[in-house]
Amino acid sequence: MKEMTISWTVLTLIFISVTISAVAQVTLKQGMSSSAVQQSLTGGWLEIVIAVASNLYVWLGLIFYALGAVLWLGVLAKIDVSIAYPFVGLGFILTALFGVFLLGEAFSVIRFVGTCLVVLGIILVTQGC
């Protein structure tokens, strides 16, 4: 079985991709929490589609997702998916932190413990790299 090292360039690409995807999540949440979208949820499907499709934050979130995906393709071109994918766990951490600090969401002790376990998992999986 071959050993694979991860270059600083690939690590940077991973971090940027995962960060952009976390920003996409928060941006989409902002869009879907808007009063126009929330009010449309009591209407018919066409009203919902129009409200969502006309929301700038939803579009920005989708653009961020697309950009993150393109960068992730660059990661996958450089390293094995079994090494790359655990880094997606960083997205859980960043998204939780962005939710707390940008959206004012609660962060409980159990979420903190779960987040620490994700970090531990990333460290353990990448030890062989």
Give the residue with greater pLDDT, 56 vs 125.
56
Among 52, 54, 25, 53, which residue's Cα sits nearest to residue 41?
52
> How many Å apart are CA 119 and CA 102, to the nearest integer?
21
What is the DSSP-derived secondary structure letter of residue 43? S
CA 121 to chain centre: 17
Q: How much is the pLDDT for 11?
A: 93
Asked if residue 114 has pLDDT above 50, the reply is: yes
Tokens of 112: 């903190």
The tens digit of pLDDT for each residue in 44-101 reads 999 999 999 999 999 999 999 999 999 999 999 999 998 888 888 888 889 989 999 9
For the chain, the C-alpha Rg in angstroms (whole number) is 18
Asked if residue 3 has pLDDT above 60, the reply is: no
Asked if residue 4 has pLDDT above 80, the reply is: no
The arithmetic mean of pLDDT across residues 102-111, rounded, is: 90
Query: Tokens 């990661």 identify what position?
Result: 75
CA-based angle 27:119:6, to the nearest 5? Answer: 90
> How many Å apart are CA 47 and CA 50, to the nearest integer?
5
Residue 8 CB partners (closer than 8 Å, separation 6+): none
> How many Å apart are CA 104 and CA 89, to the nearest integer?
22
Confidence at 129, pLDDT banded by 50, 70, 90? low
The tens digit of pLDDT for each residue in 14-58 reads 999 999 999 999 999 999 999 999 999 999 999 999 999 999 999
% pLDDT > 90, the chain: 66
Say what the pTM is.
Answer: 0.84
